[in-house]
Copies of this chain bind each other. A is one copy, B any other.
């Protein structure tokens, strides 16, 4: 493909995306293909000769598009959102065009420095503790996901607790971590991957708002200490995946300080809301944390992947992660004048992801991002009102931010069938969870183009599905 052909085909792709930005709401949200249907339409053998782009592009539309679940639809209410402003798409395009690999400062100073700078901007925008700033002893880095950030935090905590002995000799027995019973599955996964073991993760009971109970945390870790175990880490969640519960950071942080535990705060979804001053109270006590992450790819519209991970003491992370072979040595790194982000993450190589984050922050401005978040929260509050005022339905958890957990009073089977029906219709998409061992619907309002009309219609569709289920 010559540069001219690139320009021509690129315009076709751009034009298609521009139309898709508008038209996505007309696609069935959830792909209705059966397992294997996409593969069955692809040729068995790979092409030997180059094919014209027109043919690939046509196959994309014929074969791939029907197999897409449209995360960008205003009718997508499932999981947590995964948004992307147009400016973010352009940032990703430019990053691919530059083709920079930013493992070291040297391998593109701008890739590292823009990232450090923009992550400092976000400390200011979210009013995060100043100890996370790169200008002190902390700093931020872009990870792919909160799962990876949590794994890095658990490993850094493991190494701090063992004086870097674990990375040399292997993880000693007895190291014990704590998170609420509502914490994300990535905490369990981090314990498994890091060689500490899931049996050594205490899932602490939660209160009626599904938030971690500090008294239960204290009891658990004191019992572990008495049993000769070595508590080393707590993962607190700001905005759990099931129900957007907020663990109380201040009492949890005080316990961590008292016992010398690494406190990691996973605010993957909710953290972005702190860009609005009136919503920051959930961060009270965050200055007691050793590390923190939130995902601009969830609620700030920076396209996946973009998780911002902060540490208060960057050396504790770097010492845990760094391995330096000769072929990566260079004067700037040896002089200690620069950050080499390869030492802040699991992979060696890295894309220039700061570009898209920078594009979004400037193109939307903090005010643009605030108004998006406020709109979603207002819509969720309104939806929650409709649910509470309908005697056939009930709220299943306190409504925080943009997530409503609710259920029909008809029981698990009815709720399950309601979910199946509305999702199969292609008109909207939502997902479920289990709270108090009861099947619960989750409606997360997070689409960039989701407006009141979509939420109203979603409620109508759910009510209609409920009527059909309870009549039949």
- Mask of A168-187 contacts with B, CB within 8 angstroms, 1/0: 11110101000000001110
Out of B37, B69, B108, name the residue touching A68 (CB < 8 Å): B108
Which secondary structure dominates chain A's binding surface?
helix
On whether A6 and B18 interact (CB within 8 A), knowing A69-B100, A92-B92, A367-B50, the answer reads yes
**Contact residues, A82-130 vs B (CB, 8 A):** 82-90, 92-101, 105-111, 113-114, 116-118, 121-122, 124-125
A101 to B49, CA, bound (A): 31
- Contacting pair B19 A15 (CB below 8 A): no
- Mask of A327-359 contacts with B, CB within 8 angstroms, 1/0: 110001000011000000011111100010011
> Interface segment, A197-205, A379-387, A459-467?
A197-205
Interface presence of A287 (CB below 8 A) = no
- Contacting pair B346 A148 (CB below 8 A): yes
- Contacting pair B100 A89 (CB below 8 A): no
Shortest Cβ distance from A155 into B: residue: B193
> Interface segment, A207-215, A219-227, A250-258, A426-434?
A426-434
Interface presence of A71 (CB below 8 A) = yes
Contacts A33-B109, A185-B348 known; 4 new A-B pairs at CB < 8 A: A30-B106, A31-B108, A69-B100, A194-B195
Interface presence of A48 (CB below 8 A) = yes
- Contacting pair B347 A20 (CB below 8 A): no
**Contact residues, A352-376 vs B (CB, 8 A):** 355, 358-359, 361-368
- Which B residues are in CB contact (< 8 Å) with A394? none
Out of B83, B168, B359, name the residue touching A56 (CB < 8 Å): B359
A125 to B89, CA, bound (A): 32
- Mask of A57-95 contacts with B, CB within 8 angstroms, 1/0: 000100111111101100000010011111111101111
- Mask of A39-62 contacts with B, CB within 8 angstroms, 1/0: 100100111111101011000100
A144 to B106, CA, bound (A): 21
A167 to chain B, nearest CB (A): 4
A176 to chain B, nearest CB (A): 10
> Interface segment, A231-239, A277-285, A317-325, A450-458?
A317-325
Interface presence of A218 (CB below 8 A) = no
Out of B71, B365, B431, name the residue touching A51 (CB < 8 Å): B365
Interface presence of A36 (CB below 8 A) = yes
Out of B53, B65, B113, B326, name the residue touching A432 (CB < 8 Å): B326
Interface presence of A407 (CB below 8 A) = no
* Total copies of the chain: 2
| Interface CB pairs A-B, < 8 A, 10 | A13-B93, A17-B97, A36-B113, A48-B365, A50-B367, A51-B363, A53-B90, A71-B100, A71-B108, A168-B198
Interface presence of A393 (CB below 8 A) = no
On whether A303 and B106 interact (CB within 8 A), knowing A60-B94, A114-B38, A170-B195, the answer reads no
Interface presence of A21 (CB below 8 A) = yes
A168 to chain B, nearest CB (A): 5
- Contacting pair B15 A326 (CB below 8 A): no
Shortest Cβ distance from A434 into B: residue: B326
Out of B49, B68, B324, name the residue touching A100 (CB < 8 Å): B68
- Which B residues are in CB contact (< 8 Å) with A125? 46
Nearest 6 Cβ contacts at the A-B interface: A195-B195, A67-B110, A170-B197, A17-B97, A171-B195, A46-B121
- Contacting pair B71 A96 (CB below 8 A): no
A103 to B302, CA, bound (A): 18
A71 to chain B, nearest CB (A): 5
- Which B residues are in CB contact (< 8 Å) with A328? 185
- Contacting pair B169 A304 (CB below 8 A): no
- Contacting pair B171 A170 (CB below 8 A): yes
Out of B2, B79, B113, name the residue touching A39 (CB < 8 Å): B113
A444 to chain B, nearest CB (A): 11
Interface presence of A9 (CB below 8 A) = yes
Out of B63, B72, B111, B114, name the residue touching A98 (CB < 8 Å): B72
- Contacting pair B46 A124 (CB below 8 A): yes
Out of B49, B175, B349, B368, name the residue touching A82 (CB < 8 Å): B349
A69 to chain B, nearest CB (A): 5
